[in-house]
């Protein structure tokens, strides 16, 4: 068993309060450390700042280094970097600090929790991308694609920061011993992990959002991409979380985090500052209704409760569990997204503030004939669709297996 090295907010447990857990460390944590709240808050800022930036481009167009959405993203980077940097410096400079033995050492000099290290690296990458992006615009003009070099650095920085926030909470969640004194802290850490994991899922969906749109929901490529991207992540965080319905909760956090900015920002005025203006709008245009992952997530939770040997005695080998999870996820996703995608894209009942289907960028022709109809290019015959969907199920099985493997690693993270 590893030696328990307490955090400043940790209390070294009495041997009688520790649970036998093989190589796991279990400690009493009377309160959640402030820096954990800070890095989760930073992840919220980054996600909502990014969504605001997307809606800014859909509604206003022209921005600059200190545009309001950028400032929200920078706040996330600065908060994460400062609080995590303090953790690193504190452990590094206090040579007699007993927490050092439970920290990760890097470059032979610094000591820190693993999550804090990731957060600092992510924050530095994000802040470095800001002046680089400004120089890029001044030199080459406006972006014609998402993955320009400065945007790539920014995206990598965001993902590293968010992963650090998730790992920072995860390490404490895995250390905590279940006692009445720890009950509130344990519940708080479970919720914080769900929030951090849901925000990472927001980022994953946003990166894929140009391809996973309602207008493509009747084409097999839509399901192929979803099969590759989502099962591995959902099963990984589901296995790592200690909530009763972790995957459902995380999917719910993701949907709310995606929808709140799109429900709120269209209440505020916005006019285009960059031509051509084909759709003369007066308010912010919403982003898009997210993929309804909460229903497939619920079925995955029920599946894991019944067959995941890490949580109960009715076990399936992870390969068989992944195969079953891939099938369940894809069938549930198809049952939800095929009709819901059609509703979002074609129904007049979806053209409101809640379902967001009336939103349209200022630079797009509002009278485009496929605005509320499926383009023939995005439809398939039955045989082609079934063949593509069959491939998607296979990809989902492999994706799920990777997710279960990654989830096993996350269950062991304690530093």
pLDDT recorded at residue 15 = 35
pLDDT recorded at residue 131 = 76
The residues, any chain, with a CB within 8 Å of residue 209's CB and separated by 6 or more, are 287, 288
Condensed to tens digits (0 to 9), the pLDDT of residues 273-297 reads: 887 899 999 999 999 999 999 999 9
Q: At what angle do helices 34-59 and 183-208 cross, to 10 degrees?
A: 30
Q: How far from 266 is each of 261, 286, 343, CA to CA, in Å?
A: 8, 6, 21
Condensed to tens digits (0 to 9), the pLDDT of residues 21-46 reads: 334 455 555 677 888 899 999 999 99
pLDDT recorded at residue 196 = 93
Q: Phi-psi bin for 271: left (phi > 0), alpha (psi -120 to 50), beta?
A: beta
More confident residue, 157 or 323: 323
Q: Return the DSSP state at 311.
A: T
CATH class of 211-415: mainly alpha
Render 20-60 in DSSP notation, one character per residue.
Answer: P-TT---BB-SS--HHHHHHHHHHHHHHHHHHHHHHHHHHT
* CA 226 – CA 144 distance, rounded (Å): 25
Tell me the whole-structure pTM to 2 decimals: 0.86
Q: Which residue has the tokens 């328990």?
A: 4
Q: Which residue has the tokens 């062991």?
A: 412
Q: Which ranges constitute the DSSP H helices of 209-269?
A: 220-240, 246-264
pLDDT recorded at residue 403 = 94
Among residues 50, 78, 40, the alpha carbon closest in space to that of 253 is found at: 40
More confident residue, 173 or 98: 173
| Mean pLDDT within 96-107 | 68
> The tokens of 224 are what?
């192929």
Q: Which residue has the tokens 């439970």?
A: 102
Cβ distance 290 to 207 under 8 Å?
Answer: no
Cβ distance 40 to 169 under 8 Å?
Answer: yes
The structural domains of the chain, with segments of one domain joined by +, span 1-208, 211-415
Condensed to tens digits (0 to 9), the pLDDT of residues 51-91 reads: 999 999 899 987 777 889 999 999 999 999 898 888 888 87
pLDDT at residue 365 is higher than 60: yes
230 Cα distance to chain centroid: 11
pLDDT recorded at residue 90 = 82
Count CB neighbours of 246 within 10 A: 23
pLDDT recorded at residue 23 = 43
- Percentage of residues in the chain having pLDDT higher than 90: 53
Cβ distance 124 to 80 under 8 Å?
Answer: no
pLDDT at residue 179 is higher than 60: no
pLDDT recorded at residue 22 = 38
Q: At what angle do helices 149-175 and 114-140 cross, to 10 degrees?
A: 170
Cβ distance 122 to 74 under 8 Å?
Answer: no
């Amino acid at each position: 068993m590893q030696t328990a090295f307490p955090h400043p907010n940790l209390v070294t447990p009495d041997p009688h309060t520790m649970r036998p857990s093989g190589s796991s460390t279990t400690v009493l944590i009377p309160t959640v450390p402030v820096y954990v709240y800070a890095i989760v808050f930073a992840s919220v800022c980054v996600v909502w700042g990014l969504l605001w930036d997307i809606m800014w481009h859909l509604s206003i167009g022209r921005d600059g280094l200190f545009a309001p959405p950028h400032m929200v993203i920078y706040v996330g980077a600065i908060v994460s970097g400062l609080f995590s940097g303090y953790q690193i410096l504190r452990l590094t400079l206090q040579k007699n600090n007993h927490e050092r033995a439970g920290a990760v050492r890097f470059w032979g000099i610094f000591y820190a929790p693993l999550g804090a290290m990731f957060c600092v690296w992510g924050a530095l990458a994000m802040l470095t991308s800001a002046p680089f992006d400004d120089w890029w615009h001044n030199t080459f003009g406006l972006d014609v694609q998402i993955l320009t070099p400065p945007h790539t650095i920014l995206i990598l920085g965001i993902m590293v920061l968010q992963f650090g926030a998730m790992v920072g909470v995860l390490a404490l969640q895995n250390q905590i011993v279940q006692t009445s004194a720890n009950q509130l802290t344990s519940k708080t850490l479970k919720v914080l992990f769900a929030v951090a994991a849901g925000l990472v899922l927001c980022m994953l969906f946003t990166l894929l959002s140009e391809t996973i749109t309602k207008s493509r929901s009747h084409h097999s490529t839509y399901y192929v991409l979803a099969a590759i991207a989502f099962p591995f992540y959902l099963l990984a965080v589901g296995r790592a979380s200690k909530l009763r319905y972790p995957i459902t909760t995380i999917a719910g956090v993701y949907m709310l985090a995606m929808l709140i900015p799109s429900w709120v920002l269209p209440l505020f005025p916005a006019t285009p500052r960059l031509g051509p203006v084909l759709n003369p709008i007066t308010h912010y245009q919403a982003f898009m209704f997210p993929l309804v992952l909460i229903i497939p997530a619920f079925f995955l939770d029920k599946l894991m409760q019944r067959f995941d040997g890490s949580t109960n005695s009715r076990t399936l080998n992870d390969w068989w569990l992944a195969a079953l999870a891939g099938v369940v996820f894809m069938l549930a996703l198809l049952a939800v997204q095929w009709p819901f995608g059609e509703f979002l894209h074609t129904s007049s009942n979806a053209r409101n503030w809640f379902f967001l289907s009336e939103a349209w960028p200022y630079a797009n022709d509002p009278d485009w004939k496929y605005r509320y109809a499926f383009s023939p290019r995005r439809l398939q015959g039955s045989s082609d669709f079934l063949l593509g969907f069959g491939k998607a199920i296979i990809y989902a099985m492999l994706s799920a297996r990777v997710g279960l493997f990654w989830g096993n690693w996350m269950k062991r993270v304690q530093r």
